[in-house]
Each structure stands twice: as structure tokens, then as C-alpha cells.
Structure 1
Amino acid sequence: MPKIENFKGNLRLRWSYRGKRHCLTLGLADSPRNRVIAQMKADEIEKDIAYSQLDPTLVKYKPELEARHSLKVTELFEKFITAKSREIYSQSLTKYHATLGYLKQFFREQQAKTVTPEKADQFRQWLSERILPNTRRPMTTSTLKERVTLASACWDWAIEENLLEKNPWKKIVKGIKPGKTPPPNPFTVEEIKTIVAGFRCDRYYSFYADYVEFMLSTGCRPGEAIALRWKHVNEDCSSVWIGEAYYRGSLKTTKTTAAGHVPLSKSLQQLLIKRRAVGTTPNDLVFPRPKGGYLSDRDFRQRPWMKVLAKLNIPYRKPYTTRSTLISYWLSQGEDPAVVAKLTRTSVKMIYEHYCGVIKTNVQLPEILG
């Protein structure tokens, strides 16, 4: 009797006949309704085995193509996200969910099997004209290519899972030429002072002032500051160890897996000394939520950060801009790019690719004959 199994969220049948093992992927998601279909196929196979009429190609037992290919675009991409969620970090899944949102807006109820290369290209054109939230600019070419590439990857996955037969996105992805990465748009020194003062004086969000100042003064990624515990701070608060990051429910290593101690300025040292209360344990978070636990980077961005910047009439940039702000300022003061790269846990190559315009140099050819 063929056995019904769940394999990566889909149903398949496994059995042995005349000393040979057989496996039939049905191309059906695991659901009560589809298990009924799987059982009917299992019964049909068992009957054919009893009468020595088993179809060796197994084509006879595969569900009709129409049943397997009737998924809507959005349903297909949701299955793709579910499959990928087992393989990648939750931080990366943000891109997948953003792509799903655009697919829902454009394709609505359309079935995935009806998407032609022409329709895929219409989506690309439509997407290139979308204005990003909280900005007045369309998405960059690199972001556009990333979104369309994810759609193409979804169709490739669907073909492997026997859900679709063709990928209409292949040429569309190749046709998107990567544009130049825009230079960082850091906060000015005046804006930095205004932001920190604005948080400290805010009636509702002063609680986050230390967190904001720490990010602006160290250039750490938001998730790195959120994951910081007192055991990572040395005794006199003159340096911190950064080697973990918390993002959307997951605690993991830093983005580049690089870790190390970061020496702090005198003002940051005093900030942490004042913040470390009597009775604080090594495992306590340095910057917890008001009610305890990890801060939510999303909630912080959508409420305190956006609202305070709006009150101060400062053009919106993501909280992550605090990182490029510190790196830009540090380099403009003449610090060695290799030192900046090491203490911000990134590569020298990245520093020169993205911040070459602010690196302070006084290059002059040497008097080689003098």
C-alpha cells in the first residue's frame, strides 16, 4: 500500500513493487482536501499492483495539470515564502514580503500560469514607477532588480515543485541593468544635535534618547544596539563588545559575522555609567523596551523615529542612516579607512566603494629626486 508523506509542505507517495522503490510527487500542498486526492491515487496504485497493471512511467497517477497549475500569483508566492522561511534569516524575508505586497497590488486574482513575459515586463515597468513609502523617490534600480529576481526565483522553485512549467521572468531580470548605488545621505552635525536634543525633550519618546545617541555615536547597526547586554560592556563603560544582533525575533551574529570591541567616547562612557542602574545583571539588555524585552526596530522606526523627525522638520531617513552618518563624519575627520572599517565591522572595500567622496586626503606627489 503506498504511503502518503509530507515533503517540504507538499504530498508525495512512496511504495515498493517487485523489489524496486517508487516515489511519486503529487505537486499538491499538504491539506485535508489534497490528502483525500492523495489517498485516491494510493488506492488506484494499490489496485493496479494487485492486477499487475502498474504504469511504470507513473504518469497515470499524477493529478491533472489544471489542478496543479491553478494557483494565483499571490498564492504561489506565499508558498514560496513558506518554503524559503526554513532556509534564510527572518531579516532577509522582509524583502520577500515586500515583493509579495507589490505582486498583490498588480496581479490581484490572476493565476500564476497565465503570467506571460509581456505581463511580467508590465509589472517591471509598473514597479519602477512606484514611489517608496516615506520618500518622494521611486525605488532604485538595484531594488527593482532584487524584487523581479525574487519573482523569477519563485517561478524556478514552482517548476522544481511541479507546480508550473515555464518561467516568464528570465529575460526580464537580465534586462534590468544595475544602476549606480546612490551615495550615503547622512545627517549633518547640526541635525545630529537636533535629533538627540529632540528625543531628550520629547514628551512621549524621551525614553529612546540614549539608544538614539548610542547609534549616532558608534555607527552600530540598529540590531546590534538592540542585542547589547551589560555583560558586553566593560567595567568602566569605556568600551563595548559587539558580536550579536537582534532582528525580527531572531538573535544571531552580526551581519558580516565580524565581532570586536569598540572604544567609546567620553560622553558615551558617561551615558552608560548613568544608565547602568543598581542591581543590573550582566544579562540585562542595555536598551530594552519600556516594558522590558527586545526593542522592535520596526515599531521604533514607525513611531518614535518618524514622529520625532517630523516634529523637528528633518527630512526622513531610516534609523540605519545613523550608521552611515558616523562613518561619513569619522572619515571626513581624517581617520584611516581601515580603522573605520574594523571598528564598524565592515570591509575596507565597502568603505571605499560607498564613502570615497568623504575620505579626507591630502595627496601630493613626493619629491622623489629631492
Structure 2
Amino acid sequence: MPIPKIENLRGNLRLRWSLHGKRHVLTLGLADSPRNRVIAQMKADEIERDIAYGQFDPTLVKYKPELEARQSLKVTDLFEKFMVAKSREIYDQSLTKYRATLGYLKQFFREQQAKTVTAEKADQFRQWLSERILPNTKRPMTANTLKERLTLVSACWDWAIEENLLDKNPWKKICKGVKPGKTKPANPFTVEEIKAIIAGFRSDRHYSFYADYVEFMLGTGCRPGEAIALRWKHVNEDCSSIWIGEAYYRGCLKTTKTEASGHVPLSQSLQKLLQRRRAIGVNPDDLIFPRPSGGYLNDRDFRQRPWKKVLAKLNLPYRKPYNTRSTLISYWLSQGEDPAVVAKLTRTSVKMIYEHYAGCIKSNARLPEIL
């Protein structure tokens, strides 16, 4: 394992080492003295420890004296550090948005230091970003995507302020000035389509294995990762209720998207489905909906093969498996259920329900006879 060496360069201390074929030099800004060599050795130990635990910061910002780090931190370095911090909290697939944003920051800011970004410069970036043509399309990004990218950058600056890396955030007013476009209305499956999809999976000689998984998703409105993570220990004795509080995505088991959890009372048809599926003496830690070969079901493989092929066979317009969630929420609201109840049992916010499903909410409200 590489060990940083303390060197004297014209009376000042620095550390030098190599890692994966790349040479690193860290100037400490300290005069060579017995006391400062102790400080330098502590810094060398920190670097050696980070390398051993896989936490090494290749930008070296983490190891620079605080003042120097603040003065030399580039926009792109700052956002990369922000991504590392967020990667511990969010799903890997969500990092796609962060990586796309980083790519735009690299193109526009290049080597510019984060502390030199003014509100004027931030607005120039907003204008430049609004004119970018999205990959594989001939259109600029939508207002919603633009706002999403700028919000990530603003969140990065907020994080940097909390970490004492920056003093102010020039992005806040810029984000507020970008008005989001109209939210695309939900495109749920109809009741007839739901029945056709379930029947289509049950009768398919290649993909009938997934029929229970599909019916469960349509019947609960849970996110695919939530259904994939379910184990028999999450179901009560008579299968009338199930606890949802975890989700599995691309090799990672985490809490649900909104970190909300709770027991969901099941319909009689889903209760019978689980009772029929549960074997005698089943291991509580066994997955309820594993893949055919065992282990966690791969949501991407399911979407690309079974889901697409069955929908095509039924001549149904393609919608992602995640659309099973909007289908249940839309149908439930149309039956007159309280939006707050729907939000709670689908682990989302009432605000999101009204933003995306307002047209589905059934209401016979009229002005009261107050006079």
C-alpha cells in the first residue's frame, strides 16, 4: 500500500506518493520544523488510512489546509464531493441525474473555482443549459429538467456551506426564477387492460412465473423495488397485511424512496394470492417474489423481456412497469378514497397526490348552506 512521504521543498513541507500509477503531491503550506513534521505525519497517516478503507479523495481537497481547500476548490471538484456524500443516501439509478449535471458543469465551468461563481455567472449557466440539446433527441431540455438540474447544483452549494467549504449560495434565486412546465398527467391502465395483463402473464408459457408479482404490483401500487425486497417475515399470519419499508434496486437494499414505511392492509384477492403462494414451513427470510433462478428479481431484465413481450402480445400501448403504481393510485382516488389515506398507504406525500393526480380525485363538493 502506498505510504505518503514527507519531503522538504525549499524549506516547506509537502507529501508525495503514487496510487494506481498516478503521482500525487500535496503542498502543506508549513515550514519545515519538528512541530510541523508531526502535523505532516498526521496528515500522511490520514491519507494512508483513507486509501486502506477505500475513502481516498483523489481531488486532495479533503487533505489540504482548510483555507487552501476553500480557495482552490473547483466547481467540478465540489460537485463530485457532493455526489460522493449523496451516494450514501440515494439509489444508484438516481445518481444518473447527478452525473448528467456534472457533465454540464464540466463543459461550462471547466477549471473555475467554486468560490468565484456569482449570481450573474450562475444565470449565464442557466441560459446556456436551457439551450442544450438532449442526447438522442433534437430538442432542448424541458423546463422541468432544467429546474431539476439547477436544483441539484443549488443543493450542492447548500451542502458545501454546511461543510464550511463555501460561504454563500448564488443559485437560490436562479432556481426560483425557473418555472416548471406542466406535469405530464398519469397514463394509467384501464380496468380492462389490468385484467388482460394479468391473464396474459398467467397464460404465457414463458413468463407465467411473474404473474403473481405483476398482480401484486397492480393491486398495491408499490414501487417495483419495494415488491422485489419483500420477504415472508414482512407478512402477517393470515396474509391480510404486509409491511413495506425496504426497496431493492440494482444490487442495493435501502429504505423506500421517501424513507416512509408501514403496514398495508391487503385486498381479499391479494390475501388469497399470498396464502396460495406461501409454502408450508417457508423460511421467513425467503423472498416473496424472487427471480426464477433465485435471489433478487432484476427490475431492468423484467422490463426488457417479460413485461415488454407480454404487452406487445396483447397489443397494448407500452408503459413502464412503474405505471402499475399510478394505475392503482388513480383508480383508488376515482373511487372516492381520501387522498391523505392514499398518500399514507402508498408511502408518498399528499402534495404529490394533488400535483400529479388531481384530475382523478372524485369529489361532489358544493358550497355549504351557510345562510
TM-score range, shorter chain: 0.5 to 0.7
d(CA) in 1 for partners of 2:177, 2:34: 50
**Aligned match of 1:37:** 25
- Give the C-alpha shift of residue 79 in structure 1: 5.4
**Aligned match of 2:10:** none
d(CA) in 2 for partners of 1:336, 1:198: 32
Q: Deviations 1:29-50 (Å, cap 9, x if unpaired)?
A: 9946776523xx4698327989
CA 1:171–1:48: 2 relative to 1, 3 Å:
farther
**Aligned match of 2:94:** 95
Match of 2:248, SS state, is strand
**Aligned match of 1:46:** 32
d(CA) in 1 for partners of 2:139, 2:331: 25
Amino acid at match of 2:213: Y
Contact between 1:96 and 1:150, CA under 8 Å: does it hold in 2?
A: no
- Give the C-alpha shift of residue 131 in structure 1: 6.8
CA 1:353–1:120: 2 relative to 1, 3 Å:
closer
Seq. identity, %: 64
Amino acid at match of 1:189: V
CA 1:278–1:267: 2 relative to 1, 3 Å:
same
**Aligned match of 2:196:** 194
Amino acid at match of 1:143: T
Structure 1 unmatched runs, 5+ = 6-11, 14-23, 51-57
- Name the Cα RMSD after superposition: 4.8
Amino acid at match of 1:284: D
| TM-score, reference length from structure 2 | 0.68
In structure 1, which of residues 272, 277, 298 is the aligned counterpart of residue 279 of structure 2?
Answer: 277
In structure 1, which of residues 355, 362, 368 is the aligned counterpart of residue 357 of structure 2?
Answer: 355
CA 1:345–1:82: 2 relative to 1, 3 Å:
closer
Deviates more, 1:77-86 or 1:335-344: 77-86
- Give the C-alpha shift of residue 322 in structure 1: 1.2
d(CA) in 2 for partners of 1:107, 1:280: 53
Match of 1:245, SS state, is strand
Match of 2:264, SS state, is strand
d(CA) in 1 for partners of 2:164, 2:260: 40
Q: Deviations 1:314-365 (Å, cap 9, x if unpaired)?
A: 3333322211211111121222333323332334444334322212222344
**Are positions 1:221 and 2:223 aligned together?**
yes
**Aligned match of 2:210:** 208
**Aligned match of 1:305:** 307
**Are positions 1:123 and 2:129 aligned together?**
yes
Q: Deviations 1:1-52 (Å, cap 9, x if unpaired)?
A: xx969xxxxxx99xxxxxxxxxx999x99946776523xx4698327989xx
Deviates more, 1:229-238 or 1:340-349: 340-349
d(CA) in 1 for partners of 2:258, 2:24: 47
CA 1:44–1:240: 2 relative to 1, 3 Å:
closer
Contact between 2:217 and 2:223, CA under 8 Å: does it hold in 1?
A: yes
d(CA) in 1 for partners of 2:158, 2:350: 35
Contact between 1:121 and 1:172, CA under 8 Å: does it hold in 2?
A: no
d(CA) in 2 for partners of 1:240, 1:84: 30
Amino acid at match of 2:272: Q
Deviates more, 1:311-320 or 1:182-191: 311-320
d(CA) in 2 for partners of 1:145, 1:278: 52
Amino acid at match of 1:124: S
**Aligned match of 1:287:** 289
CA 1:102–1:305: 2 relative to 1, 3 Å:
farther
Q: Deviations 1:164-211 (Å, cap 9, x if unpaired)?
A: 9x9997776454222333332211112222222232233433222211
CA 1:110–1:312: 2 relative to 1, 3 Å:
farther
CA 1:344–1:120: 2 relative to 1, 3 Å:
closer
Report the number of matched residues. 328
d(CA) in 1 for partners of 2:169, 2:68: 22
- Give the C-alpha shift of residue 109 in structure 1: 11
Deviates more, 1:216-225 or 1:334-343: 334-343
**Aligned match of 1:338:** 340
Contact between 2:202 and 2:211, CA under 8 Å: does it hold in 1?
A: yes
**Aligned match of 2:110:** 111
Alignment of 1:59-208 (within 5 A): 78=80, 80-86=82-88, 88-89=89-90, 91=91, 93-101=92-100, 104=103, 111-113=110-112, 118=124, 121-127=127-133, 140-151=142-153, 173-208=175-210
CA 1:222–1:140: 2 relative to 1, 3 Å:
farther
- Give the C-alpha shift of residue 124 in structure 1: 2.8
Contact between 2:233 and 2:285, CA under 8 Å: does it hold in 1?
A: yes
Match of 1:113, SS state, is coil
| TM-score, reference length from structure 1 | 0.68
